[in-house]
Every structure is written in structure tokens, then in C-alpha cells.
Amino acid sequence: MRLLLIFISSLLFSACSMEQTLVRASIPMIDGGVEALNHETDLDLAEDSIPANLNMLQGMIKIDPENAQLHTYASQAFYGLAYGFNEDTRPGRASDFYVRGMKHGIQALELNGASNLLDSTLADFNEQVAKMGNKDVPAMFWASSNWAKWIDMNRDDPEAISQLARTTALMQRVIELDETFYFGGPHMYFGVYYGSRAPSIGGNYEKSKEHFDRARKATNGKLLIPDLLEAQFLARQMLDRDQFHRLLTGIVNAPDDLMPELALQNQIAKRKASLLLKKEEEWF
């Protein structure tokens, strides 16, 4: 009986190990899928394909739940689904997606060695973040990006606002380790961080502009998201209607082949710019 149990256990272990091996061998395919999606110019086609890919990714996580890289991919995917395709039309759904993306990013960081990040004191959280290194950059970036967007969508909730210090600590560590990560993404974060608030409550328009300029530098101005964010947050906060209009019309009129490897992001920027231009009269 003991030998039989050992034999059955070894079969189960081998099957589990084989599934995990297959999942890990498939990771390069995920990279290729992300690259292909970034080249897509048809927003409807992209929106239709993301949920299926995300479901497949979550299935892989069930097989290999301690794979930090898979959780990081999921964090990025939930951000893209929320920001690109739900935030402007289904904000409640987008908010839920941002929470799910944040949790996957935090899970990746904890699998890499952090512990109890969501339940820790702010001092302990900052101490752990200070010890994170280059391998943590992707998870930190996507966890922070999702977290910050959730806070922005729930800015009337004091509990949400109280978490801003944590997500900012994560992104500050990212900018210290790799300021060019994801096409200057950390600088976009701080462009919004300093530009979306009045100086009396922590805003800094000069710092905001500097961060947006450095974000643009990462792609030689070919990624349109920095212009979009500068118009939406900094120009609006400064009541600079001319800058708001100039940036957004520049996005709408930009050539579709400006940056083929990030065509999807630029198409999303174009759609969002068109929506923001419709609010110009209301905001100014």
C-alpha cells in the first residue's frame, strides 16, 4: 500500500511538473503576442482579442501560481484592458480591472521576495520597496500604474487617496532603477502626479513639464501618450486652453505610422484625444 501511494504521488507530481514546464516554455509566445498586439491599428480587433488572451493567461497562472512573470503579464494586461477600452465608457468596470491588475503586480513582487505589502505599515512598505532591484521593475511599474489609476478613479474616497504614497514610492523606485522603462512610463506617471494638482496641495507645474518632456525623449516624440496626459492633466490644471487644444489636435492629426511598434497605443491616444476635445468648451 505504501509503495502504491508513493507511485501515485510521483505520477501526480510528474504531471504537475510537466504542466508547469509547458507553461514556462510558452512564455516566449506571450512576448510575441504582446508585440503583435502592439502593432495592431484596429481598436475593435484589439479589444476583442484581449479578453481571450487574458483568460488564457489566467489559466496558465492557475497551473503555475508562483510564477512572478505570469502575474506581471496579467498586471499589464488588466491595465491595458482598463485604460484602452473601458475607462472612458465603463468606468466602474475599469476600476475593477485596475484593482485586479494591481493585485497581480503586488503578487509578483511578493513572489520575488517582498511580504504583506498591502497590509504593512507605510514605513515597512517603503523599507521593502527601497530593497527592490532591477528584476522587480516590471512588476513595480504595472502594480503602481494600476494602483494609481484606481486611486484617480476613486479620488472622492479618502481611503483611496491615502494609498497614493505607496504607489508613488513604487514608481519612484522604478525611476531610480530604469527611468526609460516602458517608453518613459515612469516619467509619465510623475508628469501626471505633479501636474494634476494645484501647487498649494503638492502640485508642481515645472516638474510636471520636465517629466513629460523626458517621457517624450524616450521615443523621440513618437509615442503620443505623453502629449495626451500633458493636455489632460497639466494644461487643464493650468487652465491653458491653447496648449490643451494644440496637444490634442496634434495627436488626432498625427500619422498612423508614426511608431508602428506602438501603433495600438497611438490609436488609443487618438481616440482619447478626440473624446477630450469634446470637453474643451466645458472645461475652459
Q: Are residues 116 and 235 in the same domain?
A: no
Residue 269 resides in a domain = yes
Burial 181-209 (b: 16+ CB within 10 A, else e): bbbbbbbbbbbbbbbbbeeeeebebeebb
DSSP structure class, residue 49? H
For 35, the 3-state DSSP assignment is helix
Q: Are residues 164 and 51 in the same domain?
A: yes
Q: Are 80 and 49 in contact (CB under 8 A)?
A: no
The pLDDT value given to residue 4: 36
**CATH number of the domain where residue 160 is located:** 1.25.40.920
Q: DSSP string of 165-184?
A: HHHHHHHHHHHHH-TTHHHH
Task: Mention every residue, 6+ apart, whose C-beta is less than 8 A from residue 104.
Answer: 71, 72, 74, 75, 78, 142, 143
Residue 12 resides in a domain = no
Measured in residues, the chain has a length of 284
Q: Are residues 145 and 204 in the same domain?
A: no
Domain span at residue 191 reads 179-284
pLDDT in tens, 237-266: 999 999 999 999 999 999 999 999 999 999
Q: Are residues 43 and 164 in the same domain?
A: yes
DSSP structure class, residue 198? -
The rounded distance, in Å, linking the Cα atoms of 228 and 274 is: 10
Q: Are residues 134 and 62 in the same domain?
A: yes
What total of structural domains would you count in the chain? 2
The pLDDT value given to residue 179: 96
pLDDT in tens, 78-131: 999 999 999 999 999 999 999 999 999 999 999 999 999 999 999 999 999 999
For 47, the 3-state DSSP assignment is helix
The pLDDT value given to residue 17: 73
Domain boundary among 118, 142, 171: 171
Domain boundary among 148, 171, 194: 171
Residue 244 resides in a domain = yes
The gap between the terminal CA atoms of the chain, to the nearest Å, is 80
Q: Are residues 162 and 206 in the same domain?
A: no
CA atoms within 13 A on the CB side of 250: 17
The pLDDT value given to residue 11: 40
The rounded distance, in Å, linking the Cα atoms of 58 and 47 is: 17
With a cut of 70, which residues of the chain have pLDDT below it?
Answer: 1-16, 23, 25-26
Instruction: Give CB contacts under 8 A, 24+ apart, made by 243-247.
Output: 244/276, 244/280, 244/283, 244/284, 245/277, 245/280
